[in-house]
Amino acid sequence: MTEHNAVNRKYLQVLEKEYEAYQKSPKFSLNSEELFCVCRKPDHGELMVACDGCDEWYHFKCVGIEKKYKDLVNNYYCQFCDLLLHRGKSVWKRKCKLDSCYKPIAGQSQFCSAEHGKIYWNIILHKFEETNHSSEVDIAEVVNRQQVENLLQHVQSRNQLNEIGNELPLFDKEQLKVTGSQFSELNANKEKLRMLEENINILRSKYQYLMKLQNVITQVSDILTTSLDPNSIQYNAENPDGNTAIKQHRKSKSRKFKVDICGFDENLLLNDSQWPEFCGTEHYNLISNFTVCSELDRELIVQYYKSPEPFDDESSGTFMSLLRKLCLSDKGKKCHLHGGWFTIYKYGIDLKLKEKEQEKNEIIELNEKLIKMIQIKNWRLYCDDL
């Protein structure tokens, strides 16, 4: 961008010098002939255009305009009036749609005359005839001359013509004709979509489970932090003989006490074929429906954390059976077995979900294109029989 601006500045500086020289140049020749254009030559019948900014006349050749565009000039501003004096911009009339014609269009038409409109559409129809006779083009991809003529007879304006094809009407005239290969492709795509949908649902289920598991881990860590913190009232009440230790702890400048359990759940190792069965287990339901720990659970969590071995699952409740499945190592002291597991699993599930969703959308798009092609071919066959 900076380089582009520098080039523009240099060009304007050159243009300013040219304008100064142009202003100082003589207006008449030695023979008293009036001089025109940047070339300062008299009028010898060459094609010229008048600037609407300064009323000076310029030769088409000198200002870089081809003679074939002479009828398309609407407003012309020379380079001095445009770039230096900012008096206006050149405006051109719309050209006739016929390639070989350089006359302006008439009114709201796309052509300079009705005759050129007929010539243009005859050329288009002739191209359709050539395409239909070509062996290199699939007949399903083109329309013939008669179909184009029928189409043009049913539109009243350019807007109607532009709107044709925006929506494809469903073929409902008779039973849809589908080739064997098309039928096989549709069925294959249907099966792919079914399997992708299953994979996506499993990944979403794993993600929801992961988020619920995070809630369990957070609450258990908070309960242990509150209950085991030597500075807490609860810990002081439960350890009446620890006053000296508490005072010494308060005097020290150690970091704030916190228990942050690892919480890794070995069920996350289950593959996609095993996960649906796990979704019907009590453990899955406990995690999925978990909201908040009860008072009894809070007490049992602390006891289990201090001494897990003596616990009996049947006497300690369902939440404790859940807790036995989680890694209770303190992340603050580094769990060497499962370091960073939550971030890894969350990122992995997110990535797989995006990949599967993209793959699903691609197959849906391919299917829509195939169905559209089948519809078009059936409409064409139906119209040809009319």
The answer to whether residue 285 is domain-embedded is yes
Burial class (CB in 10 A: 0-12, 13-18, 19+), 289: exposed
Say yes or no: 316 and 200 in one domain: yes
Which of 92, 117, 134 corresponds to the end of one domain? 92
Per-residue pLDDT at 151: 67
Say yes or no: 189 and 333 in one domain: yes
Say yes or no: 200 and 311 in one domain: yes
Tell me which residue range forms the domain holding 23.
3-92
Say yes or no: 319 and 205 in one domain: yes
Per-residue pLDDT at 108: 84
Which of 92, 108, 134 corresponds to the end of one domain? 92
Say yes or no: 88 and 187 in one domain: no
Say yes or no: 76 and 220 in one domain: no
Per-residue pLDDT of the chain (386 residues; tens, 9 = 90+): 454 565 588 888 899 999 999 999 999 988 889 999 999 999 988 999 999 999 999 999 999 999 999 999 999 999 999 999 999 999 999 999 999 999 999 988 889 999 998 899 888 777 766 655 554 445 445 566 666 666 667 667 767 777 766 777 777 778 888 889 999 999 999 999 999 999 999 999 999 999 999 999 999 999 988 888 777 555 444 554 444 444 444 444 456 788 888 999 999 999 999 999 999 998 899 899 888 888 888 888 888 888 766 555 554 556 777 788 888 888 767 778 888 899 999 999 999 999 999 999 999 999 999 998 888 888 888 777 65
The answer to whether residue 171 is domain-embedded is no
Per-residue pLDDT at 242: 45
Say yes or no: 55 and 192 in one domain: no
Which of 92, 125, 152 corresponds to the end of one domain? 92
> Dihedral of the CA atoms 65, 68, 72, 75 (nearest 10)?
30
CA distances from 297 to 170, 181, 216, 294, 318 (A): 61, 62, 12, 5, 9
Per-residue pLDDT at 264: 93
CATH code at position 19: 3.30.40.10
- Backbone φ, ψ for residue 366 (5° rounding): -60, -40
The answer to whether residue 157 is domain-embedded is no
Burial class (CB in 10 A: 0-12, 13-18, 19+), 37: buried
Query: Number of structural domains, the chain?
Result: 2
Tokens in use for 116? 């050129």
pTM of the model: 0.54
3-state secondary structure of 221: helix
Per-residue pLDDT at 17: 92
